[in-house]
Amino acid sequence: MIETMPFGSTGHSSSRIIFGAAALGAMSQGAADRTLATVHESEINHIDTAASYGEAELRLADFLGEHRRDYFLATKTGERAGSDARAELERSLERMAVRHVDLIQLHNLVEEDEWRTAFSPGGAVEALFKARDEGLCRHVGITGHGLRIAMMHLRSLAEAPFASVLFPWSHSLAKIQPYAADVAMLHELCDVNGVARQTIKSVARRRWDHPQQPHFSWYEPVGDADALRRCVEFVLADPRVFLNTSSDARLLGPILDAASNHDGEMPPAALLEADRVEQGITPIFDGEALEVI
């Protein structure tokens, strides 16, 4: 059974496994339909996509035409100017053939110049909250990658009442003490303000040694079944967070199985350490050379 919990203060009780629709971006419609059938047969009730995920929004349209009421629907915009962000949101609504989304997120808001543009008068933040007030979305959130993002989220939350944040988290990233400390501070603020917390990259093994080779996610996922299960269990053992599934759709089943059978306990630290050594699990961000995706 996949448990649900309140998605922050939105009023929605979301499955703790959120379907990452980036997995649909390069699929044929037939393959997307089969993947979405798996999602619908599971206990997932929350879908997360983005305007930049290839054809993902288009692949969702027919499914949402039949099942829109069953899902909390989130998308993202990478635009920073207000007019551009508004236009991209409207395009997303058109592509998915829906009247509104439940959550629109500013995608990977981490760079200083982009942050300043987004928060300036006439910027994306102002435009998206206006779109919320007009009914095009119900909530506004922020997402990000890299080791700077927890502190940037703290900065963003000090400026606007975002409903959710999204950041990378895994047992290998948790070993980076400065980042873990930043995430702890982010949790404290989110607890106070009722902000939902989504995690990504939890089943990442490392960056690809040969990124030019065909692959379905920009990181190499953990390949060992038991080690992958423990990656999922590590995240879900923290009752404050949600886990967004990988852009590699082949991992959807194993992640669902791990979540369905999780007893709520944290895997033993010794086993996680053994996984990092034996499976070669290393952080995919380091704050320096590996910071940018």
What pLDDT digit, counting tens, does each position of 125-160 carry?
999 999 999 999 999 999 999 999 999 999 999 999
pLDDT score at 215? 63
**Above 70 in pLDDT, residue 200?**
yes
pLDDT score at 291? 76
Half-sphere exposure of 100 (CA within 13 A, CB side): 15
Query: Taking a C-beta distance cutoff of 8 angstroms, is the pair 53, 21 a contact?
Result: yes
CA max distance for the chain: 52
Query: Taking a C-beta distance cutoff of 8 angstroms, is the pair 8, 15 a contact?
Result: no
Among the ranges given (29-33, 41-45, 205-209), the one the predictor scored with the smallest mean pLDDT: 205-209
Query: Taking a C-beta distance cutoff of 8 angstroms, is the pair 152, 183 a contact?
Result: no
Give the chain's end-to-end CA distance (angstroms, integer).
34
What's the fold here for domain 4-203+239-247? TIM Barrel (3.20.20)
Task: Enumerate the domain spans of the chain.
Answer: 4-203+239-247
Average pLDDT, integer, range 224-246: 98
**Above 90 in pLDDT, residue 164?**
yes
Task: Using CB atoms within 10 Å of the CB of residue 43, give its burial: 0 to 12 exposed, 13 to 18 middle, 19+ buried.
Answer: middle
For residue 197, the cross-strand partners are 165, 241
Express each pLDDT in 272-289 by its tens digit.
999 999 999 999 887 776
For residues 260 and 1, the model is more confident at 260
